[in-house]
Amino acid sequence: MKITPIKSQEDYEHSLIRMEEIFDASPNSEEGDEAEILSLLIENYENKYHPVEAPDPIEAIKIRMEEMNLKQKDLIGILGGKSRVSEILNKRKRLTVDMIRELENKLNISASVLVGNYQLLK
């Protein structure tokens, strides 16, 4: 096992290829240990050079609606009336703190995702 730091995109790509080769290695084997260390190096490189940003709060709601097979009408009562749901999902109105609490409880979306860089109304 020869592991070196990932210092470039080329190193990163080689590391991904190697990880794919040893992914199913037994946990207490030499390749298993290599996979564990390599995964940490890959994660560190990705966090530094390929960070994943949090989704837009409204997009997060739409994704969860799709996952749960919900329609706009299913959010009536959570976000308010029919017109309020439409305004929120079309980004004409902002979420309130109470709406975020309801979404967190009913759709199991973290409040931190819903707050994001989004300005709230009280």
Q: Spell out the domain ranges in the chain.
A: 9-49, 57-115
Question: CA 78, CA 75: separation in Å to the nearest integer?
Answer: 5
Give the DSSP per-residue string, 63-118.
Answer: HHHHHTT--GGGGBTTTBSHHHHHHHHTTSSPPBHHHHHHHHHHH---HHHHHTTP
pLDDT at 119: 52
For 82-116, what is each residue's pLDDT tens digit? 999 999 999 999 999 999 999 999 999 999 888 86
pTM of the model: 0.57
For 50-79, what is each residue's pLDDT tens digit? 988 777 899 999 999 999 999 999 999 999
Report the topology of domain 57-115: 434 Repressor (Amino-terminal Domain) (1.10.260)
pLDDT at 122: 46
Question: CA 107, CA 98: separation in Å to the nearest integer?
Answer: 14
